[in-house]
């Protein structure tokens, strides 16, 4: 059965334990828009780190942002990674947005690999952002306003994205429990369709909503 032939109310059904569908456009579009905002902010910071602008905009801490972005810690990261952390943030946030836009409102079942890839991009980025904030406080000794803004956005993205990752992993776990077949689990991961996989998805959908 193709996605087009499935009633819209089935594609967009709430997925327990949530009372909403984590893959719905109403859930994913805000994530994508916020990721684009973070990418734009990171682009400004990257331009300063690359030397294309003289100062990073900071209405709160003033020149402290410049010191953070050109600190020994930031330069050490650049030497290790071969790219400035802000530029890496641009790529990661754009990845969040692109992966967030891809797939249907039932991609938690039809594209688990995509949802998991989305989670791999979003969740570690949030962790890294927290680590960078800690480094600002305890190693660099200065604060960067826009860095704090992007760190806050990263944590919001993690919070918004986690429910979709959770339901995809739960669906795969149900497939494994019902079949104990690596082949069936592999098919489910790549979004292949058969009656047994549809029954596994229906088992998840029939659970009680918290």
Q: What is the mean pLDDT of residues 4-18?
A: 73
Please state, in angstroms and rounded to a whole number, the distance separating the CA atoms of residues 15 and 67: 46
The pLDDT of residue 6:
54
Spans of all domains in the chain: 16-205
Q: What percent of the chain has pLDDT over 90?
A: 78
Q: What is the mean pLDDT of residues 72-89?
A: 90
The pLDDT of residue 25:
95
The pLDDT of residue 12:
83
What is the band of 31 on the pLDDT scale with cuts at 50, 70, 90? very high
Q: Lowest-pLDDT range, 16-25, 106-115, 127-136, 146-155?
A: 127-136
In the predicted structure, residue 2 carries a pLDDT above the cut 70: no
Residue 94 in contact with residue 35, Cβ under 8 Å?
yes
What is the band of 139 on the pLDDT scale with cuts at 50, 70, 90? confident
Q: What is the mean pLDDT of residues 171-191?
A: 96
Q: Which two tokens stand for residue 107?
A: 């991609």
Alpha helices in 136-194 (DSSP H): 145-179, 182-189
pLDDT in tens, 145-166: 999 999 999 999 999 999 999 9
The pLDDT of residue 179:
93
What is the band of 73 on the pLDDT scale with cuts at 50, 70, 90? confident
Superfamily of domain 16-205: VKOR domain (1.20.1440.130)
The pLDDT of residue 1:
45
More confident residue, 40 or 193: 40
Please state, in angstroms and rounded to a whole number, the distance separating the CA atoms of residues 114 and 208: 26
- The SS3 assignment for 71 reads coil
Q: What is the mean pLDDT of residues 34-49?
A: 96
């Amino acid at each position: 059965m193709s996605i087009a032939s499935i009633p819209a109310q089935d594609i967009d059904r709430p997925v327990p334990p949530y009372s909403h569908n984590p893959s719905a456009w109403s859930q994913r579009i805000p994530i994508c828009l916020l990721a684009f905002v973070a990418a734009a902010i990171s682009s400004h910071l990257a331009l300063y780190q690359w030397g294309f602008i003289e100062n990073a905009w900071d209405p709160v801490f003033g020149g402290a942002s410049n010191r953070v972005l050109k600190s020994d810690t930031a330069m050490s990261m650049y030497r290790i990674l071969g790219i400035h952390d802000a530029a890496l943030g641009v790529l990661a946030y754009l990845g969040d947005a692109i992966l967030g836009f891809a797939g249907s409102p039932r991609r938690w079942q039809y594209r688990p690999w995509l949802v998991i890839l989305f989670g791999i991009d979003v969740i570690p980025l949030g962790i890294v952002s927290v680590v960078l904030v800690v480094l600002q406080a305890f190693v660099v000794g200065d604060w960067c306003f826009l860095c704090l803004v992007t760190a806050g956005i990263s944590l919001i993205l993690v919070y918004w994205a986690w429910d979709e990752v959770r339901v995809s992993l739960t669906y795969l776990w149900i497939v494994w429990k019902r079949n104990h077949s690596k082949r069936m689990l592999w098919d489910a991961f790549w979004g292949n369709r058969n009656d047994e996989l549809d029954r596994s998805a229906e088992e998840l959908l029939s659970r009680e909503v918290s």
